[in-house]
């Protein structure tokens, strides 16, 4: 990705730690935020959904029954609670991707919580410390469960967020459907050993190229989450001024234009878009990767122009993520490679029965009673740098649970010091990711191309 800085001057506000702590403290003093909130009920369901221009697709999975899993809204520094009720024929859990929370709430079966069997429930409760765009999904039989629909977006609001004239949330994903609109095999082994198996029908919010109306000349906040199991996108906006404000739930140090911005499964982007003045003008968000560029969604300018200026968008507040101390940081080397070792498919949450990938030469065996040892044991509060090298010809969106890292350097390109939970590492790239091990427990680290995750490219770190 190229970083085109539009306004080097407009930096994000560096008011991190103080505000996060302050907010929680005020909440507690007032008493209202500390009260246990009414849990949101997320009941898994099997439904029919209209995903193609023909009859409905059967066996679509969701939370609730109203189509796409709901966009969950939480508030930074305020307690959130959800009850997962499992009404499908398969054990499940929920992982809150990118949210720094207690290990027990992280939703990884076997490692941190029991499977939630059919008819059972599990209560999740945590207080999101960071504002931004996140998402949620199962962490059991993920290729099927996510592939068939169980991916939803989370917005963590900050009362100090800049004001926009409109906000839209986009859940981007594909479906593997045949010509009859019904699910076909979720993966092909030969593709799992390469880029992963692509879906056949591409959607935004479960629609093909939906259009939304926004005030002409107004400022729009567009939150985008890639919840697909395979696809990497290259984003571009046509027809309006647009800035990338945040990536993976954290403000970018310097705003830049989305000019074929590469983001992989699990990643999120927030755009500030200044709508055109003229009523009826169309702004489009496109994926320009590969040979078949695709318009993902369009925004239509409505009404008389509000005449806003994109430079009026106030910077987002930095999240209270501890800063890595590079002088004391211990380095952890991590090599991503291909392998030909076989992995038995014996876990309740399913491995694919193939081993194609490995981290430090170890292919993850799945949720077996005898999991592989952690990649590293980290000391609570200490700084670490993961030096990750990609020895494969594919790109991998590598996701760390439970802690946010800072992108320090890459061997192949200039990088911004982004705070993130998912890094899309390119072939032959070496990247250094720094973080403070400030969250106790076992935290998964895996590729978010689910076929890669499920055929070996998974491991974990232990913070003690």
Binding residues for Cu ion, rule: CB under 5 A, are 396, 447, 449, 452
Q: Is 191 helix (H, G, I), strand (E, B) or coil?
A: helix
Site of tokens 């029919």 = 48
Least distance from C-beta 7 to Cu ion, angstroms? 34
For residues 317, 318, 319, 322, the Cα torsion angle rounded to the nearest 10 degrees is: -150
Q: Taking CB under 6 A as the rule, does residue 444 contact ligand C2O?
A: yes
Least distance from C-beta 358 to ligand C2O, angstroms? 17
Question: Which residues have a Cβ under 8 Å from the Cβ of 53 and sit 6 or more positions away?
Answer: none
Q: For residues 347 and 401, is the Cβ–Cβ distance under 8 A?
A: no
Least distance from C-beta 338 to ligand C2O, angstroms? 21
Determine whether 98 is exposed, middle or buried from the number of CB atoms within 10 Å of its CB (0-12, 13-18, 19+).
Answer: buried
Least distance from C-beta 77 to ligand C2O, angstroms? 23
170: left (phi over 0), alpha (psi -120 to 50) or beta: beta
Q: Is 107 helix (H, G, I), strand (E, B) or coil?
A: coil
Contacts 24+ apart (CB under 8 A), 58-64: 58/182, 58/183, 59/148, 59/182, 59/183, 60/148, 60/149, 61/88, 61/145, 61/148, 61/149, 61/150, 62/149, 62/150, 63/150, 63/152
Q: List the x/- string, 252-271, binding to ligand C2O by CB under 6 A.
A: --------------x-----
**Which residue from 269, 267, 272 is spatially nearest to 231, judged by alpha carbons?**
267
Q: Taking CB under 6 A as the rule, does residue 396 contact ligand C2O?
A: no
Least distance from C-beta 219 to Cu ion, angstroms? 36
Q: Taking CB under 6 A as the rule, does residue 97 contact ligand C2O?
A: yes
Least distance from C-beta 278 to ligand C2O, angstroms? 40
Q: Taking CB under 6 A as the rule, does residue 231 contact ligand C2O?
A: no
Whichever of 140 and 255 has its CB closer to ligand C2O, that residue is 140
Whichever of 137 and 452 has its CB closer to ligand C2O, that residue is 137
Judged by beta carbon distances under 5 to 8 A according to partner kind, the member of Cu ion, ligand C2O, none in contact with residue 286 is: none
Least distance from C-beta 8 to Cu ion, angstroms? 34
| Out of 308, 401, 406, 452, the residue judged to bind ligand C2O by CB under 6 A | 401
**Which residue from 196, 100, 104 is spatially nearest to 147, judged by alpha carbons?**
196
Q: Taking CB under 6 A as the rule, does residue 20 contact ligand C2O?
A: no
Give the range of 279-287, 348-356, 362-370, 443-451 binding ligand C2O by CB under 6 A. 443-451
Q: Taking CB under 6 A as the rule, does residue 95 contact ligand C2O?
A: yes
Q: Taking CB under 6 A as the rule, does residue 454 contact ligand C2O?
A: no
Site of tokens 């984003």 = 235
Provide the binding-site residues for ligand C2O, judged by CB under 6 A: 95, 97, 137, 139, 266, 399, 401, 444, 446, 448
């Amino acid at each position: 990705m190229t970083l085109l800085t539009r306004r080097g001057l407009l930096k994000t506000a560096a008011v991190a730690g103080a505000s996060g702590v302050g907010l929680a403290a005020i909440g507690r003093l007032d008493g209202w935020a500390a009260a246990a909130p009414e849990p949101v009920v997320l009941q898994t369901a099997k439904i029919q959904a209209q995903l193609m221009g023909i009859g409905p697709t059967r066996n679509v999975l969701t939370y609730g029954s109203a189509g796409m899993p709901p966009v969950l809204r939480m508030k930074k520094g305020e307690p959130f609670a959800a009850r997962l009720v499992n009404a499908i024929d398969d054990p499940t859990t929920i992982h809150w991707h990118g949210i720094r929370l207690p290990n027990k709430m992280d939703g990884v079966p076997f490692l941190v919580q029991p499977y939630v069997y059919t008819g059972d429930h599990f209560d999740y409760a945590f207080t999101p410390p960071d504002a931004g765009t996140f998402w949620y999904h199962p962490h059991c039989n993920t290729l099927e469960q996510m592939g068939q629909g169980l991916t939803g977006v989370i917005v963590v609001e900050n009362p100090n967020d800049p004001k926009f004239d409109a906000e839209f949330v986009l859940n981007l994903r594909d479906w593997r459907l045949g010509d009859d609109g019904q699910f076909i095999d979720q993966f092909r082994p030969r593709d799992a050993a390469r880029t992963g198996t692509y879906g056949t029908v591409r959607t935004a919010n479960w629609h093909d190229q939906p259009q939304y109306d926004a005030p002409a000349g107004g400022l729009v906040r567009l939150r985008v989450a890639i919840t697909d199991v395979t696809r990497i996108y290259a984003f571009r906006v046509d027809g309006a001024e647009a800035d990338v404000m945040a990536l993976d739930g954290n403000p970018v140090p310097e705003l830049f234009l989305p000019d074929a911005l590469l983001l992989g499964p699990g990643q999120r982007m927030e755009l500030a878009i200044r709508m055109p003045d003229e009523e009826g003008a169309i702004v489009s968000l496109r994926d320009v990767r590969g040979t078949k560029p695709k318009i993902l969604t369009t925004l239509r300018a409505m009404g008389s122009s509000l005449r806003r200026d994109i430079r009026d968008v106030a910077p987002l507040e930095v999240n209270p993520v501890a800063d890595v101390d590079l002088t004391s940081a211990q380095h952890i080397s991590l090599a991503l490679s291909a392998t030909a070792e076989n992995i038995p498919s014996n876990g309740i949450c399913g491995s694919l029965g193939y081993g194609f990938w490995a981290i430090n030469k170890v292919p993850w065996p799945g949720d077996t009673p005898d999991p592989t040892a952690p990649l590293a044991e980290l000391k609570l509060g200490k700084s670490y740098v993961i030096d990750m090298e990609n020895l494969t010809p594919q790109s991998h969106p590598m996701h760390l649970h439970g802690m946010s890292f800072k992108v320090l350097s890459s061997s192949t390109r200039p990088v911004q010091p982004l705070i993130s939970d998912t890094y899309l590492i390119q072939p032959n790239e070496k990247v250094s990711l720094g973080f403070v091990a400030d969250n106790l427990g076992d935290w998964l680290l895996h590729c978010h191309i689910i076929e890669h995750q499920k055929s070996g490219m998974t491991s974990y770190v232990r913070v003690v």
